[in-house]
Amino acid sequence: MRVLIIEDDPTLSKNISEALTAESLNTECVYDGLLADRILKKNDFDCIVMDINLPGKSGFDICKDFRQYNMTTPVIMLTAFGELEDKVQGFDCGADDYLTKPFYMRELILRVNALIKRHKQSNSATTNNSILIADDITLNDIQKKVQRQGQEISLTPREYQILWRLMKKNGEIVSKADLIKEIWGSSFNANTNTIEVYVNFLRNKLDKPFAKNTIKTKVGYGYYLDVK
């Protein structure tokens, strides 16, 4: 397993590298945002640990650009800030998890291992069931493309992940807590209205232009697709 560490603090970068290496993970360290951008385009990794405040290019921008051509490799963002707005921005750029400095190295190790395991399971599931269909919606999980009535719909990574989980359930209710845990990770506060915001974004792209009402809310329970 290969992990790319993008952190401009050499001491912290070294500590993270040593901790992950002790867990039998191969690590590569980079200290500059622009260099990290080039490395990501040329190499494959199983997980990325990325600081937000970087010289050359911020972690937000790196992650957002990375998700244009890679929507699956897990990304953990590191920051000195603990504000909810920073977390939402990071997740919206495509991050999978979030750690606020200072943090326990053991917690980082647990999260990296959990994301790598989830990524491998997701790849296995994709191989076995890459095309999902609900009503007139088609989702191709290999190409990461969504179409409705033959028209391609551009979704952000978070919107796509929500739709994928709803389509996998094929009309069954998915709770808000489960969506947040599966997409944002257990570290995210399930009491925020973040999931409602993203579901609304998804409805505006997937339902509204087609005069449809496919994404339904079961108050007090969660969300489901009306696939009748």
Written as one string, the DSSP assignment of the chain is -EEEEE-S-HHHHHHHHHHHHTTT-EEEEE--HHHHHHHHHH---SEEEEESS-SSS-HHHHHHHHTTT-SSS-EEEEES---HHHHHHHHHTT-SEEEESS--HHHHHHHHHHHHHHHHHHHHHHHH--EEEETTEEEETTTTEEEETTEEE---HHHHHHHHHHHHHTT--B-HHHHHHHHT-TTS-TTSSHHHHHHHHHHHHHTGGGT---EEEETTTEEEE---
Who has greater pLDDT, 180 or 65?
65
pLDDT score at 122 = 64
- Structural domains of the chain, with CATH: 2-125 (3.40.50.2300), 129-225 (1.10.10.10)
Mean pLDDT (whole number) for 202-214: 93
pLDDT score at 187 = 58
The pLDDT tens digits for 52-68 are: 999 999 999 999 999 88
pLDDT score at 3 = 97
Report how far residue 132's alpha carbon sits from residue 225's, in angstroms, rounded to the nearest whole number: 13
Q: How many CA atoms lie within 13 A of 126 on its CB side?
A: 16
What's the pTM value of the predicted model, to 2 decimals?
Answer: 0.64
pLDDT score at 186 = 63
Mean pLDDT (whole number) for 108-124: 82
Residue 184 pLDDT > 70, yes or no? yes
pLDDT range class, residue 194, cuts 50, 70, 90: confident
